[in-house]
Amino acid sequence: MDVLRPALININGRIYRRNVTKDSKEEHYEEEEEDVSYMGPPESEYLEEDEACDTKLIEQTDKGYRCAIEVPSVLYKYIIGKKGETKRRLESDTKTSISIPKQGVEGEIVITGSHKAAVSSAVTRVELLVESYRKKQPFTHFLSFPLSNPKIQEGFLTFKDEVLKQCSQDHGVEGSIFQNPAKLHMTIGTLALLNETEVRKACEHLQQCQHFIRDITEGNPLTLEVTGIEYMNDDPGMVDVLYAKVNAKDKSDKLQLIADRLVEHFVSAGLMVREWDRVKLHGTVINTLFRKDSVEDAGGPGRQTMSEREAFDARNILKKFGAYRFGEFGLNTVLLSQRYSSDCTGYYTSAGSANFS
């Protein structure tokens, strides 16, 4: 990182500077400790704003002031630090006391102090730590359009059989890199939901989206055509992902509009990070991360890490199956799907849904 141009974090409309310092005492976490400094207006300009903000969060008690913050338990360790060093430093710097539930127990972090400004300062620093480390958590859920319709599954299995018959001699082409037909889907966006409260919040927001989804679909399922395949990199001879192209049968942009509106809603709610200007809708049919002859790692049982991936030669597949028709079906739902899970149908376990009709 350029020390003269530190990364900035926007929290509740304020801009903070993130200073990264390597602390050998924190190596237990194999992370870089992050010191975040507020880069706001002069003190005279934001004291009044602090008062308005603090009124909502900080309550006066017989002994001073108190504020409770909801933080997922998986993030407690970043506030505690190795042997409690981060927590002690926060308490010393802000002249407050910070009470954290036991690891694994969901609850509130409670900050108390004699002065409201001190509690406010501690709250800000804790929130910045939480925000910083939250961004480093792997995603747990994703919004999906399921493609696991029986007609599409049948078309996919025929595609797989024919590819293996005609192209198995090509480098890297073998059965384990094909998607599980029960898990065929389009990913709209990913979410890191760190406890049940956050999962419930995401479900509630998905339900809120149902009204604009039905406005777009006019209360009807969308008939989709799954036809043609494409690859995701520049060299068709060295491919990691091959996907099926999915379009509305009536040639409308309704599906794209729903996907983009969903991402806009969840980004605004703070539940998703925007990765692209528009969602790239596609249904993965082959992915080298599925290859089974790899060691187990944090990416999931029997899956490869990004650096270990063995690409495959897709030139013959693209030549012979570039216009392959998987089928058509009526899409009637968007799901909040749980990563690394399966329900009784074989599709990802659903935490919530919104229907088109």
Q: What is the pLDDT along the chain (357 residues), one digit of tens a residue?
A: 454 455 655 555 555 555 554 443 433 333 334 443 333 333 333 333 344 344 448 999 999 999 999 999 999 999 999 999 999 999 999 999 999 999 889 999 999 999 999 999 999 999 999 999 999 999 999 999 999 999 999 999 999 999 999 999 999 999 999 999 999 999 999 999 999 999 999 999 999 999 999 999 999 999 999 999 999 888 999 999 999 999 999 999 999 999 999 999 999 999 998 888 899 999 999 999 999 864 433 344 445 555 578 999 999 999 999 999 999 999 999 999 999 999 999 999 999 999 999
pLDDT at 357: 93
Token representation of residue 286: 């082959």
Nearest to 77, CA basis, from 100, 106, 108: 100
pLDDT at 50: 46
pLDDT at 3: 45
pLDDT at 47: 38
pLDDT at 51: 43
Report residue 171: phi and psi, to 5°. Answer: -55, 130
DSSP summary character for residue 193: -
> Whole-model pTM?
0.79
pLDDT at 176: 97
pLDDT at 27: 36
In the chain, which ranges are continuous DSSP H helix?
43-57, 76-80, 85-94, 116-134, 150-167, 196-208, 210-217, 254-268, 315-321
For residues 34 and 125, is the Cβ–Cβ distance under 8 A?
Answer: no
pLDDT at 90: 96
In 58-111, which ranges are continuous DSSP H helix?
76-80, 85-94
pLDDT at 277: 87
pLDDT at 175: 97
For residues 145 and 186, is the Cβ–Cβ distance under 8 A?
Answer: yes
Structural domains of the chain, ranges and CATH numbers in brackets: 54-137 (3.30.1370.10), 141-288+311-355 (3.90.1140.10)
Token representation of residue 134: 């939250």
Mark residue 13 as left, alpha or beta (left: phi above 0; alpha: psi -120 to 50; beta: remaining).
left
